[in-house]
Structure formats: C-alpha cells, structure tokens
Chains A and B, each alone.
Chain A
Amino acid sequence: MAEIIDNSPALEIHDLIVSYQKKPVLYGVDIAIPEGSMVGVVGPNGAGKSTLIKTVMGLVPHSHGWVKIFGGDLKNSIKRIGYVPQRESVDWDFPVSVMDVVLMGCYGGLGLHRRPGKKEKDKASEALEKVGLEAYSKRQISNLSGGQQQRVFLARALAQESDLYLMDEPFAGVDAATEVAIVELLCQIRDQGKTLIVVHHDLATAREYFDMILLLNMRVVGFGKTENVFNAELLQKTYGGRLTALSEIADKLAREKI
C-alpha cells in the first residue's frame, strides 16, 4: 500500500504535459493540493479541466511530468480516489437500476467475483438517503431527471468512501435547489477531512462554493485561496485566450515526439 506521510499533499502534480490526439491540452501544470480542501477548477471551454482530472486518474496518458496521490503512486492510491464523471459520459439507457449504480461504489472493496452483500447494500441505501433518492432506488436510470442522475453519481461516490474526490462538472444540468443541496453535501464531505477537486464552469458561484480555486487555461494561471486568486487580472488572463506561442510549440512537441 501507499506509504502515508502526514504532511504530504492529497494531490501533487509536477510539470505535467498532456496532449490529446496530437493536440496539447495541458502544459506544465505544477500544483500541490493540501488535504481537507475543496478546490474549484475554473477555466474556459477547452481549457483542459476534464483532462486534468482524467490524467490524475491515469485515464489519459501524459507525455511529461508526474502525479502523486497522498505521496504515493497512482497505482497504489487509485482506490482512495472517488470519481464523479460528467453525466454525458455514460449511456443512461443501460439496463441497471439506481441501486445497481450506487452499489458499484462498493465494488472496490470486494475481491474478484464476490457479490455485494447486505453490508454493501446498507451502505448504498445510506448514500442514497443522503442525496435524497431513496424512493427511486428500483428505477431504471433513464427514468430520472438530469439533476437526479447527477445525484446518483454523487451517491455512488459517497458509497465509495474515498479520501480524494474528483468531480467533473457535478452541477451541469442541475436546478438551483439541487445545486444548493449538492454543495451542502460536498461541504459535509470536506468537513470530514476529505479532499474535493471539482470542475466548475460558473464563475459567479465558484467564489462562494470553494475554499481554493485553480484557474486553468492549458497552463495554471493561478492557484491558491479563493480570495487571493479571484481577482480581475488573473481572471482576465484565464479567459483572455491562450498563449499562442505556447500552444503552437506544444503542438509541435507532441507531433515530433523527441
């Protein structure tokens, strides 16, 4: 297992370069996220926010740099990560019920070919209760509204009982009331000493929701406590377009593969 050093950050990324289908997406990302914080990842469309999360989980290969989770390798620590993907990333016509999806969160604890038992089912219903969906547990997942589907994903992540949560736009397509409820839930998780990294696209609310903000536009424009980072100059830099030389060169670099 990963050796756990007390003061090692929950997530440390060093000089990360990622190119996707020969197009650069992230260039030189270098951050350390302390444990117990709730970080909002903010940036324009195509800034590489989702890619950052996917790279941390090893779903997208990187061409340079490294990622450490709780001071250890991804391989050892991947089970400490909880992941909430974008809603569009799965096929909602899939023949599973809400309960089945939430139970998936418990699969990591089971060995190969063991079935989820009573203990897992209790844990899953508890998670469903937390997100207020206990009445829907038998439904097929396509019969849920967008906000409910998002909450199913959250419940699954809760059932996973991870230490580091990576969430890709959990508020997309969610009505205002649900959004408030979800934020409350996230704060509860944070208060248990867990770390949350949340991709968020709404600047207006990002300021209220998160303790720390990571401004991303291919490179890290700013990272730190919300009040320090959230200023006009840095925001202008984030949303003011890419550094052309950087993206061109990164493009070339990815293609030539020295």
Chain B
Amino acid sequence: MNKSFRSVFLIFALYFLSIDQLYAARIGELVESNSWDQIKRFFTFSDRGLQLSLIGALLFGSVCGLTGSFIVVRRMALFGDAISHAVLPGVAIGFMWGMEKDPLAILVGATIAGLLGSVLVQAIVRTSRIKQDAALGIVLASFFAVGLCLIRMIQNHEGASKMSGLKTYLFGDVAVIDSSDIMTMSVIVVLTFVLFYFLYRPLLIVSFDRQFAYSLGIPVRLLDAVFQMFLVIAIVISLQAVGVVLVSAMLIIPAATAYLLADRMNKMIFLAIIIGVISAILGVFFSFLGSNLPTGPFMVISSSLLFAMAYLFSPKNGRITNWYRYLQLKSKVRKENTLKLIYHYLEKNAEAKEGVNIEVSELLRTSKGDTKGKLSSLRILEKSGSIELENKKLSLTNLGLEQASSIVRNHRLWELYLTNEANYAADHVHDDAEKVEHLLSEEKVKELELFLDHPTVDPHGKPIPGRGQV
C-alpha cells in the first residue's frame, strides 16, 4: 500500500513542476486536420491544451479509481449514480453565483448539492417506509430536474452564449480544463489521497464488516459521512471532463475491472487507480481525434473495453480462460475414461497387467457410444506413452497401467467413502463416483485412504487397486 501511494505522489509532483501558467490552446479550437496528424500531435505532447487535458485525466482518473474501489466493494454503485446526478443543481447555482465559469463556486455548489442528496436519501429511508432503491431514484431524478430547470433559467437570463460553459458539465469536455482548474483539482486530489492514506484501515473494516467496526469503537457513522464526502468530491472534480450524466461510470467501471483482477483490497485500489487513469487518457485520445464531441462517453467506452478484456481474459476467472480450462479438463476426462475402460477389460478377462495385448475392436465392443472419440483418445494415449498400439492391438505400458489403476482407485475409494460416511446406498454411488474420480487430487486420495484405513475392497466387492503393485 505504502509503495503504491508513494509512487502515485511522485508522479503528481513531477507533473506539477512541469505546469507553467501559460495560456493554453484548447483542443476544441484547433483547426481540423487529418487524424494521422492528430495522432502524431497526441504522442509528441507538444500541445499545451493537450498537456493540461492529460494532467486532468491523470488527476481525476486516479481519484475515481480510488473512491470507486470502495463503492464497488460496498455495493454502492447505484448510490454513486444517484449522487452524481444530484450535483447538477449545485453546478447551476455555482454558475449563477458569478454568472461565469468560476471553478471554486461551482465546486462548492456541486459538493453541497451532492451531500444534500445523500443526506436526503438516508433521511427518506430512515424516516419512512420507502426503501433505498426508490429513495435513490427520487433524489436522482428530482435533483437532476431541478438542475435542468435552473440551467434553462440561466439560459433565458444570459443568452445561449454563456451556456456553452455549462453544457460541458452535462456530457463532459476535457478541452475546457485550464490551468486554474488543474490547480484546484490537484490540491483536492492530493488532499483526498492523504486522507485516504490515513483512513485506509478503518474504512476497510467498515466496508467489510460494520458490526465488527462498531465493536472496535470505530466511529462508523462519521466514517460513512467522510466517505460520502470523498465520493462527492471525486464526482465533482471529474465533472468537467466526464459530465454529470456519465461520471458514475468512471467510478464503477475501473474499480469493477480491478475487482475482477485482484483479490486484495490494496492491490485492487492500486489497479483501479491505474485503470482509471488509462481509461481517462484513452478517452482524451479518442476525443482528440474527432472535434466537437463530448469526451465523457469516450472515457466510459474506453473503460468498458478494459472491463470487457478483464472479463474475458482475467487469468483467474476470465470467461475465455475458464473455457480453455474446461476444454482441458474435458480431454483429461476422456483420456481417463478410456484408460478405465482398458483396465476394466483387463480385470474381467485376465489380470490387470502391463503388456497384455487387447483387440481394439474387442475393447470398443465392451462399451456403448462414441467409437470415434474413443479411437482418437486411444491415439492421444499412445502419443503420451500410456499405451502401445500395434496391428489393431493395444497394450498398456507401465505408465499406462499406473494411470489406469489410479483412476479406478479413485472411483472405488469414493464409492466406499460415500457408502460408509455419507449413508449412501451401495447402488447409488456409481454415478457420483464417475464424476468425482477425475477431480480427486493425489493429496485428497491419500487423505481418503488414511481416513478409510487403507481399504482393499469397494462396496461392490471389487478390489481397490493398491499403489506400486505393478
């Protein structure tokens, strides 16, 4: 945790040093050129406006990742959505205050509106029988509607020209971020990170187990209030770039992506910060290519793409990864079933020994179904050196016999376990053992043998193959 925080601070410090108070050309004002030139300009970082946008993206992307991690683990995703809509009237009132884009007034207004929204949600839930979901919906839509009315009134009063500044707060435009915005943002971001650093442990406990937190004497209510404060602040500083309508996505999606990839809170936060920053920067890049497009949606789509990648390819539980694992297991099951078939044949007709020749057609006759599949798995077994195939005859090698007896041992041990310990009827255990035999690890088998006191006969009276009898 320490390390990750320190490195993030370092990056911030470097960037602050590189900001000059120069006039910044805005992305939107640039003459349109072909997209290749734009890409080149993007990567040379020469453009002042672009630099500011990127610093902004870095700042709010990291805060969203940080706060969002707690939102996701506390299952407050929809709460975040409601609060992010609720800041709109605050933005409008902040705008009315000076009748121009005054970042501080807007910041204060939006924060107050957001906090008011979250207080109202809790008040409704606590004092009436309306449940959380409806309370969120009410606050979300009512506040948003009030905000829309206020915006229209500003428009009527001031004329449409002033509106352009306000419109960016709805769908986001990273290009309007100027250096004074960056200064405000960076102060807030640093403060947020410092506070989170000190409150990390209690926040973790409260998020995981409230009752326990109470019992430790942690001021849970106070922490909740502080956390909601963070949430509102994260929303507010992302407003210009992402817009009211979509800012909740920047809280949820990067953190959810990190949630898929990490299984510790500190790793998750670290990843969420990185993913938040990457998606914000990708968003800047995409909107840089086209002109006059809102940036918020591009940031959201970038982060959703990252989420989709994690969902499909996450090493632990990705869909594609799992599918691949499933295919592997299936081929293992097929291989083991074929070996078992050979073992049963040998057991019935002679002694289970290596090197005894069996007619392939004879073997196939002993079981129904899919001949083709069996032939192909015989071929695979030959390749792996478990059997020898010659002249339509096959024989088990030493290795093959060991493998085959191990799978039969698993089967019969499990049958015995079920009848002895789980009160299964002897004629009910076979189906279950058919599946379980493929899943027992060597360790588990040893445990079972010990538990059952090294049995030699299964419930049907068949011998359980021992170890090293070959």
Contacts and interface: CB of A to CB of B under 8 A. Distances in A.
A227 interface: no
Contacts of A248: 444
B436 A253 contact: yes
A221 B423 contact: yes
Contacts of B431: 15, 64
B425 A30 contact: yes
A221 to B, nearest CB: 7
Interface in B433-454: 435-436, 438-440, 444, 447-448, 451
A144 B421 CA distance: 46
Contacts of A252: 439
Interface residues of B, number: 25
Contacts of B440: 249
Main SS at interface, chain B: helix
**Most chain B CB within a 10 A radius of its CB, from A27, A221, A245, A246:** A245
Interface string A225-258: 0000000000000000001011011001100111
Given A15-B431, A30-B428, A256-B439, A246 B422 contact: yes
A28 B423 CA distance: 9
B423 A243 contact: no
A49 interface: no
A166 to B, nearest CB: 23
B444 A246 contact: no
Nearest to B451: A245
B428 A249 contact: no
B439 A28 contact: no
B424 interface: yes
A151 interface: no
Contacts of A245: 417, 444, 447-448, 451
A253 B439 contact: yes
A249 B424 CA distance: 16
B429 to A, nearest CB: 8
B404 to A, nearest CB: 19
A185 interface: no
Interface in B410-424: 414, 417-418, 421-424
Contacts of A221: 423
Nearest to A220: B423
B333 A219 contact: no
Contacts of A17: 432
B424 A93 contact: no
B13 interface: no
A92 B428 CA distance: 44
Sort A-B residue pairs by CB-CB distance and give the 10 closest, nearest first: A93-B129, A219-B422, A252-B439, A258-B435, A249-B436, A15-B428, A243-B421, A28-B424, A246-B422, A253-B435
Interface of B: 129, 326, 329-330, 333, 414, 417-418, 421-425, 428, 431-432, 435-436, 438-440, 444, 447-448, 451
6 contacts: A15-B428, A30-B425, A93-B129, A222-B423, A249-B444, A257-B326
Given A28-B418, A28-B422, A253-B435, 4 more contacts: A28-B424, A64-B432, A93-B129, A258-B435
